[in-house]
Structure 1
């Protein structure tokens, strides 16, 4: 049993902050508009960029990296939930994407 909560894309609350912990190239290819991007390995050094009062909805490509990030955030006093299935589930659910690379947005 994990010590953090997991939520499906279809059940995401509207008032949370989506935190994308994928690599830069993945973010540039396609991400949710308005999401905050901090790659997993940079999270400890960039923690001050996150508001400890926000409800963080942590996402990666399929859910593995975001699970590790969520566990770490919760252990450090943040309110965080893991997005089940990650950006793959986001895309499957028909949620909108934007890209930073001039190409049609996609999930890598």
Structure 2
């Protein structure tokens, strides 16, 4: 028997702004490039395909998921709900948020690095590949 996943609740700008103002986590599920081009101020970037892995790192509270128009964020809210985390999706996405004159940012949020963190093993792997390729 196939179970149908719960449909994510979509919220309008008024409800989304209230969640944002209350300090509930805002998760932008777009790619890092899309996020850097413009996002809801204070939102963290967790691409849709990485959402389950970041579940334990999200602060408490109902999660507001956002994307450009609301399609991917609705999928993200549904995934979070299946994992037991209350979540809603912003109807209209960041385009509606920005059009309403609500706070947005470009680039990384303060305290975030501009690029993904390197693995502590990356230097070792680079050296190992160079040594093997060079015959030594």
- Report the alpha carbon displacement of residue 83 of structure 1 after superposing the two structures with TM: 0.5
TM-score with structure 1 length normalisation?
0.82
The 8 Å contact of residues 10 and 93 in structure 1, kept in 2 or not, is answered as no
Counterpart CA distance in 2 for 1:40 and 1:49 is 15
Q: Which residue among 38, 53, 56 is the counterpart of 1:48?
A: 56
2:11 to 2, 7, 12: 7
**Greater relative CO (CA pairs within 8 A, separation 6+):** 1
Structure 2 stretches lacking a partner, 5+ long: 1-5, 109-136
Which structure's residues are more often helix, by fraction? 2
> Where does 1:19-38 land on structure 2 (aligned, <5 Å)?
19-38=27-46
8 Å contact 2:10–2:88 — kept in the other structure? yes
User: In structure 2, what is the Cα distance between the partners aligned to 1:76 and 1:70?
Assistant: 10
The TM-score with structure 2 as length reference comes to: 0.67
**Structure 1 stretches of at least 4 aligned residues deviating more than 4 Å after TM superposition:** none
Q: Could you list the runs of 5+ residues in structure 1 that have no partner in the other structure?
A: 102-108
Q: 1 CA distance for matches of 2:52 and 2:86?
A: 15
Q: Which of the two has greater strand per residue?
A: 1
Instruction: Give the CA deviation at 1:47.
Output: 1.8
CA distance in 2, matches of 1:89, 1:81: 16
Report which of the two structures shows the higher radius of gyration computed on alpha carbons.
2
Q: Which residue of 2 aligns with 1:58?
A: 65
CA contact (8 A) 1:4 1:71 kept: yes
Question: How many positions carry a matched residue from both structures?
Answer: 99
